[in-house]
Chains A and B, each alone.
Chain A
């Protein structure tokens, strides 16, 4: 137990940035908009979160700014994909290039700087529970907020009127439009809101996790989040499960590396990417055996209002 508990606690911490990004993408995709720009948006979030924290001294401002930066940069994706009906796959790749480039260019003078960031805040009572306490309730406030967010996103999608509209627009925009829902408005809101959470995931990496800014610091986590949305079948609870699974692999890999091993680092670092492929194959095999409910049928398809007859 003494060996496993710290690894599990690290798994939750490493999984949190991926969880924010996955939840954000679920919100976006539920409305039928595919955003493959997660990697770039997370980097913009990591950069913005870091410089604002660095200059104001307050991680809270940094995180808030990162959220807003994510919303702002996603305006591009929303405008091109929703209003101008652009190809969502290509547009997402453009978002990745743009976000990666911007964060590298703007952040180069901050490389090597550190901030004090956000510290651990044990929850009184809960943190003294055996195993569960140190794993889940001896963490930083952003981890607690992610627990809350999992429920909030679930509630938003499945229990609110707006969530119903989102699902309608994502599954059958034509019927939604006929029922008087504005497809564009719902998609805009979902895309922008989702972008904010994705960006927050990036900011977690710089502000809370590593307390510094490094070029390309997301290292593929954005793409892993895209894969996790499929793994989660667009459900927030399973998104949490998937994120912690990946966090666990990352924590384990770092533990092995720190413990001194003969396995070369590059081979160990492949693990999350190999796992992503394996998870995707597994879910696709299961999916082939029977259709899952949850995947938005109109995902990635632009909506042409004038083609309604």
Chain B
């Protein structure tokens, strides 16, 4: 008979097996689904792999996508550490990009260092306040942050449309909704004749700081306790309400900074459609990486490859980018299912007569 028992211990190796098995099963069921739609799944997966990891260009594109993914994932990961559900990285990312573009538009100077510092500040403040607003509502009146952060994503995207279709539109763009290209001093450098830009260092620095502060510091311990056991946190005198606002501010600020890096490093002009859902993918990445900052960078690279592969699918097989979204959903389903096998063991026993 089948017996389900609780596990008391799981080794790192077993844990890795479960995650790998989940991802493989997700890709297999994705293949099944593509097959049912009349697409050759192996050809599709081959295209994805070829586009993203087979040559220097593919890897550099994957790295370019790793930057926003990693930063958004670090952002939501920080909030999730406190069990605050920041689903608003997408909106905070957009607000960061908006603030950075606004700065270039209204306060432009020739000095690259002044521009860099002020763009970083403007974008992280914008993203931070976008997040802190939801944090404040949660801390003060216990307003559900999942819904407020989501609603603010919609508002941020509409705000973006308002500006690029309105007063920020480049008069020389032949009617396309986009701002003028950023001047030289407002750009982050790109390396190796590819689109990998200095935002990569932002991601690495943020990961390092988070690792120190959250994993090693007292404040990190506080927010972990507040998340796992709010009652115990109260008794220990931890100010959870203040921490919710602070965590949401920092989380939003990191996502806002990602928006700035994406603008100054990659697109160098604001246009609708630059936010393709990194903020939502970030939720899977943070979850899969168990909120560990360094693991997040690594997992982001994998999902960056998924995005680049998806773009290749679009070009080579005329499959829309939503294919990637389905794969992401499937991966998440199987990871969630796999969680069960982390905490439970299923054993088959045969009754002796």
Contact = CB atoms under 8 A, between A and B. Distances in A.
Contacts of A306: 6
B322 interface: yes
Contacts of B332: 90-91, 93-94, 97
Interface residues of A, number: 47
A84 B141 contact: no
A101 B326 contact: yes
A285 B141 CA distance: 6
A80 B166 CA distance: 45
A284 B141 contact: yes
Q: Which of B142, B323, B337 has the most CB of A within 10 A?
A: B337
A274 interface: yes
B130 to A, nearest CB: 12
B320 A76 contact: no
Interface string A269-309: 11001101100110011011000000000000000001000
A209 to B, nearest CB: 20
A281 B287 CA distance: 28
B340 A273 contact: no
Interface in B326-349: 326-330, 332-333, 336-337, 339-340
Interface stretch (B151-159, B185-193, B214-222, B251-259): B151-159
A110 to B, nearest CB: 13
B143 A106 contact: no
Contacts of A108: 320
Contacts of B162: 264, 266-267
Interface in B282-319: 283-284, 287, 319
B280 A93 contact: yes
Contacts of B6: 306
Nearest to A220: B154
Contacts of A100: 322, 325
A280 B333 contact: no
Contacts of A84: 336-337, 339-340
B280 A97 contact: yes
Given A108-B320, A280-B148, A94 B333 contact: yes
B329 A277 contact: no
Interface residues of B, number: 44
Contacts of B146: 36, 89, 226
Given A264-B166, A287-B142, A98 B340 contact: no
B313 to A, nearest CB: 11
A273 B151 contact: yes
B150 A101 contact: no
Interface in A83-141: 84-87, 89-91, 93-102, 104-106, 108
Given A93-B332, A102-B326, A270 B155 contact: yes
A281 B143 contact: yes
A100 B158 CA distance: 20
A227 interface: yes
Nearest to A107: B322
A300 B147 CA distance: 15
Given A90-B287, A264-B166, A98 B147 contact: no
A223 interface: yes
Given A89-B146, A97-B328, A105 B141 contact: no
Rank and list the top 10 A-B pairs by shortest CB-CB distance, nearest first: A98-B329, A101-B325, A104-B322, A101-B326, A94-B332, A97-B329, A86-B336, A84-B340, A266-B162, A284-B141
Interface of A: 36, 40, 76, 80, 84-87, 89-91, 93-102, 104-106, 108, 219-220, 223, 226-227, 230, 264, 266-267, 269-270, 273-274, 276-277, 280-281, 284-285, 287-288, 306
23 contacts: A86-B336, A86-B337, A87-B339, A90-B283, A91-B333, A93-B283, A94-B332, A94-B336, A97-B326, A99-B329, A101-B322, A101-B324, A105-B323, A105-B326, A108-B320, A223-B151, A227-B151, A230-B147, A264-B166, A267-B162, A270-B155, A273-B154, A277-B151
